[in-house]
Structure 1
Amino acid sequence: MFSRSVLRSLTSDLRLSAPSISTISLPQRACLHQTASLRNAQQQSQTQSSSLNPETPLSATPRAQESIPETSIHNIIPQTRDDIPLAKQPVAPTFTSPLEVTKSLMAQLPHLVGQTPHYVTAEIHARPFLLTAGDHIRLPFLMPKVKTGDILRFNRASALGSRDFTLKGSPHIDERLFECRVRVIGVESEPLRIKEKTKRRQRHTKQARSKHRYTTMRVMDVRVKSPEELLKEGAVVIEDAADSPQIEARS
């Protein structure tokens, strides 16, 4: 009995001395909608202060990505060959002597120039290809150091002509008489081929796998130069000879 009375007195004293839970002040926590409203109020106060004081500088920072002016775009993209750096321009062919054209060839050349379209029998690694503007070529090999979009010029041809006229070389036509330009389209690959190889008196069979790739091109232009262009480039008119090239007309 004594112990129970002592405990009751102690618990009653503790209850009187301890503060109530309702009287304890807890830190207030803002809700999400309250923080959004506070931010909006702060932004409105900032805009009002900036409108009242227009002389104060704006706090907004400029954008990191600014639009490039048109002048800089034209400076970056090359418009003509003069805008391309010299290191990236194609190497011009060098000739030790000027082009020599006979009088008969100079007289017959306007007939060949005026009749279009033209064709050319171009030779690539001693293989002839009959080409006209718009044709697609698939070379029987993969051309090294060539990328898609490159423009190449075929300068070795054995024949050049149109519907009624033909100019044959002996064995080749001078490359200064014509222009044949092609554009590299891409690379094609054939299906995978598997060939089995065996040897006599052996039970082992080997498989040889091959998948060749070929460069594809498109002929952009086949053009014969006019006599005025040849004379402007420094051609020299000479007398006719027995082995000089002639333009043959079809009967």
Structure 2
Amino acid sequence: MFSRSVLRSFASDLRFVAPSSISAAPLPQRACLHQTAWLRTTQTQSHSTIPDTPLGAIPRVQDTQPSTPTSTPNTTTPQTDADFPNAKKPVAPSFDGPIEVTKSLMSTLPHLVGQSPHYVVAELHARPFLLTEGDHLRLPFLMPNVKPGDVLRFNRASAVGSRDFTLKGSPHVDERLFECRVRVTGTESEPLRIKEKTKRRQRHTKTAKSKHRYTIMRVMEVRVKTPEELLEEGAVVVEDSEDTPKVEARS
């Protein structure tokens, strides 16, 4: 009886103590696998970090030359005419010598000069504008590089005339025959426009906003030069031809 009780107590101790002791101790094969992997990684890291030559206090000589800094573009404001690009410079005049005026134009020009007010069909960006002195002009765009108070001259016109006479060009009238000056008064903006853009089979709607601005001008002067002024400027009287402009009377 005593032997059975001792055996029973020993079995109970094994049942409760043995599982905890077995689970706490790792398997030798598993431990060996982890150790070999860890040793392999540490060896590769140590070999990669070890330099080829021993370290010293003397600094090494740089093999390559330092890169020279690239020249930065000049972003300063141009001060002279030579600093502006060719695309931004004003258009050069189309004439090289003095203006040539025919005899018929010199004889009929006083009739056009004496009858005022005058009008001019000025062209700006291939758009004609019929202007007389005192008119307010709103350009269909915002003119850059202008400020309120600036005085501009329209030198491209297809016709200059009055109530009964008209001087037509082929295709434009020489700018030395007339003067049309305007003054910039300010800018004007239109009401804000909102447009909704949608696509089929999509629930998202986009909104596009636009608020355009326009340049406002006032015509200060529209006049035709007299024959005396043309002669003082060096005009040359030539014979009549088909290409020269003529003053036409309205029927």
Quickly name the TM-score band, shorter chain normalised: 0.5 to 0.7
Q: Kindly tell me: are residues 207 and 92 of structure 1, through their superposed partners in 2, closer, same or farther at Cα, counting changes over 3 Å?
A: closer
Q: Matched residues in 1 for 2:231 and 2:187: separation?
A: 40
Q: Which amino acid aligns with 2:246?
A: Q
2:175 match? 175
Secondary structure, in 3 states, of the residue corresponding to 1:109?
Answer: helix
Aligned runs of 1:153-164 on 2, under 5 Å? Answer: 153-164=153-164
Aligned runs of 1:197-236 on 2, under 5 Å? Answer: 197-236=197-236
Identity %: 79
Q: Kindly tell me: are residues 223 and 196 of structure 1, through their superposed partners in 2, closer, same or farther at Cα, counting changes over 3 Å?
A: same
Aligned runs of 1:127-142 on 2, under 5 Å? Answer: 127-142=127-142
Q: Matched residues in 2 for 1:126 and 1:102: separation?
A: 28
Q: Which amino acid aligns with 2:161?
A: G
User: Higher Cα Rg: structure 1 or 2?
Assistant: 2
Secondary structure, in 3 states, of the residue corresponding to 1:158?
Answer: strand
Secondary structure, in 3 states, of the residue corresponding to 1:231?
Answer: helix
Q: Which amino acid aligns with 2:112?
A: L
Q: Matched residues in 1 for 2:92 and 2:222: separation?
A: 19
Secondary structure, in 3 states, of the residue corresponding to 2:228?
Answer: helix
Secondary structure, in 3 states, of the residue corresponding to 1:101?
Answer: strand
Alpha-carbon deviation of 1:243? 2.3
User: How high is the TM-score relative to the length of structure 1?
Assistant: 0.63
Name segments (4+ residues, structure 1) moved above 2 Å.
Answer: 91-95
Q: Matched residues in 2 for 1:116 and 1:190: separation?
A: 35
Deviations 1:29-51 (A, max 9, x none): xxxxxxxxxxxxxxxxxxxxxxx
Q: Kindly tell me: are residues 222 and 93 of structure 1, through their superposed partners in 2, closer, same or farther at Cα, counting changes over 3 Å?
A: farther
1:105 match? 105
Alpha-carbon deviation of 1:148? 0.2
Q: Matched residues in 1 for 2:175 and 2:149: separation?
A: 23
Q: Matched residues in 1 for 2:129 and 2:91: separation?
A: 24
Gaps of 5+ in 1: 1-85
Q: Which amino acid aligns with 1:217?
A: M
2:187 match? 187
Secondary structure, in 3 states, of the residue corresponding to 2:107?
Answer: helix
Deviations 1:50-102 (A, max 9, x none): xxxxxxxxxxxxxxxxxxxxxxxxxxxxxxxxxxxx99xxx896541211111
Secondary structure, in 3 states, of the residue corresponding to 1:230?
Answer: helix
Q: Which amino acid aligns with 1:218?
A: R
Q: Which amino acid aligns with 1:191?
A: P
Q: Matched residues in 2 for 1:242 and 1:177: separation?
A: 18
CA RMSD of aligned residues (A): 1.8
